[in-house]
């Protein structure tokens, strides 16, 4: 018999879902701590959770009574989401959102008994083991991408901007959102470093190599030194505005240059994977690489490692064996 999905999770009752006197929104308090990209992602997750915990009667996280959730409501969430087809990694993202919004409800004083909060928020993430996704790009592929940009004679300004974007994304291991969030004020070419706003509004400084600086300087010569977004829009006629690019625009830029360069398909995040892999292959310690990438844990950095199997095989050959032939 097919599973009865409702039996794996206890939703709030209709009475609990009735509107009450306005109170601070834990969901809004949580979302306000996130970067623009994180806010979009976790807003969707919270709306999904509101729908699940209300048995389909609400999908508005901002008005959902999170403080009424108890252990009997939250304990069955993971099993329920598995039943209805969510991937484990996606479930874990929802669990992070749940724990954080309940924490905000507690901080706002909406839980009368702190034990109710601790029990409800005590849901554990699922263990996820999967092969790393994506690929790393060879240096020849990176050079082909830059060459495609520099060969853009129909719109040279666009080629100069895209050269700077690709060079900086690789040099600093940037995410798309981090790339478009950069402002001119974040750049310090005298010290060859840049300030990056990462996930969770965490800031980090990354240093630029000597080879990456000229690409940025060439873009600034045509962009100008007006304060505002570092990477801006360029019209078909080559006119530069101070309007900020979107993460989707970066996706299209890379996809267009990939086709022009004739390299195999890759995702924008593969540039970041390539940076991390190349740093590890250069024997930079994993903690330093983790700091450059803005990872909270070195374990996350290790999952990005795309060094080929030949590297692992060569490492194995360096070990002596206690076994001797007779």
Mean pLDDT (whole number) for 51-72: 91
Active-site pick, 67, 80, 100, 175: 175
- Domain CATH number, residue 215: 1.10.443.10
**Residue 216 shares a structural domain with residue 86:** no
CB atoms within 10 A of CB 224: 11
7 is catalytic: no
**Residue 223 shares a structural domain with residue 256:** yes
Mean pLDDT of the chain: 86
Residue 312 lies in a domain: no
94 is catalytic: no
Residue 325 lies in a domain: no
**Residue 88 shares a structural domain with residue 145:** no
Give tens-digit pLDDT for 104-136.
999 999 998 999 999 999 988 888 655 557 888
Backbone angles phi, psi at 33, to 5 degrees: -90, -5
**Residue 170 shares a structural domain with residue 202:** yes
**Residue 272 shares a structural domain with residue 221:** yes
164 near 211, Cβ under 8 Å?
A: no
Active-site pick, 40, 93, 99, 199: 199
The rounded distance, in Å, linking the Cα atoms of 228 and 113 is 47
Of 88, 120, 152, which residue is a domain's last? 120
* Domain ranges, residue 225: 139-307
Number of domains in the chain: 2
**Residue 147 shares a structural domain with residue 273:** yes
**Percent of the residues in the chain that have a pLDDT greater than 70, as a whole number:** 89
Q: Is the pLDDT of residue 22 over 70?
A: no
Residue 265 lies in a domain: yes
**Residue 72 shares a structural domain with residue 211:** no
**Residue 161 shares a structural domain with residue 224:** yes
Active-site pick, 80, 272, 273, 306: 272
304 is catalytic: yes
The rounded distance, in Å, linking the Cα atoms of 167 and 179 is 11
Q: 187 pairs with which residues across the strands? A: 194
269 is catalytic: yes
Mean pLDDT (whole number) for 151-172: 93
Strand (E) positions, 235-317? Answer: 240-244
Helix pair angle (36-53, 88-107), 10° resolution: 90
Active-site pick, 30, 86, 304, 306: 304
| 175: its two tokens | 């995410």
**CA nearest to 233, candidates 120, 155, 297:** 155
């Amino acid at each position: 018999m097919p599973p009865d999905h409702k039996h794996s999770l206890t939703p709030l009752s209709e009475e609990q879902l009735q509107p009450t006197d306005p109170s601070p929104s834990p969901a809004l308090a949580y979302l306000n701590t996130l970067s623009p990209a994180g806010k979009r992602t976790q807003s969707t997750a919270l709306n999904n959770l509101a729908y699940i915990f209300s048995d389909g009667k609400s999908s508005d996280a901002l008005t959902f009574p999170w403080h009424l959730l108890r252990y009997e409501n939250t304990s069955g969430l993971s099993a329920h989401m598995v039943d209805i087809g969510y991937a484990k990694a996606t479930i874990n993202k929802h669990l992070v959102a749940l724990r954080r919004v309940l924490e905000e409800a507690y901080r706002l004083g909406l839980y009368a008994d702190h034990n109710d909060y601790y029990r409800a928020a005590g849901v554990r993430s699922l263990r996820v083991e999967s092969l790393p996704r994506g690929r790393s790009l060879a240096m020849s592929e990176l050079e082909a991408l830059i060459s495609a940009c520099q060969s853009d004679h129909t719109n040279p300004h666009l080629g100069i901007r895209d050269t700077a974007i690709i060079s900086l994304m690789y040099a600093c291991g940037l995410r798309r959102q981090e790339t478009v969030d950069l402002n001119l004020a974040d750049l310090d070419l005298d010290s060859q470093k840049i300030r990056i706003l990462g996930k969770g509004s965490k800031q980090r400084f990354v240093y630029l190599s000597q080879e990456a600086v000229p690409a940025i300087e060439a873009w600034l010569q045509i962009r100008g030194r007006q304060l505002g977004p570092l990477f801006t829009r360029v019209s078909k006629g080559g006119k530069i505005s101070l309007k900020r690019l979107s993460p989707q625009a970066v996706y299209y830029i890379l996809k267009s240059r990939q086709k022009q360069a004739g390299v195999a398909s890759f995702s924008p995040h593969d540039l970041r994977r390539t940076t991390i892999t190349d740093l590890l292959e250069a024997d930079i310690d994993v903690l330093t690489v983790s700091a450059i990438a803005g990872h909270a844990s070195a374990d996350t950095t290790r999952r990005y490692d795309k060094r080929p199997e030949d590297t692992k095989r060569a490492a194995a050959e360096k070990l002596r064996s206690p076994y001797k032939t007779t």
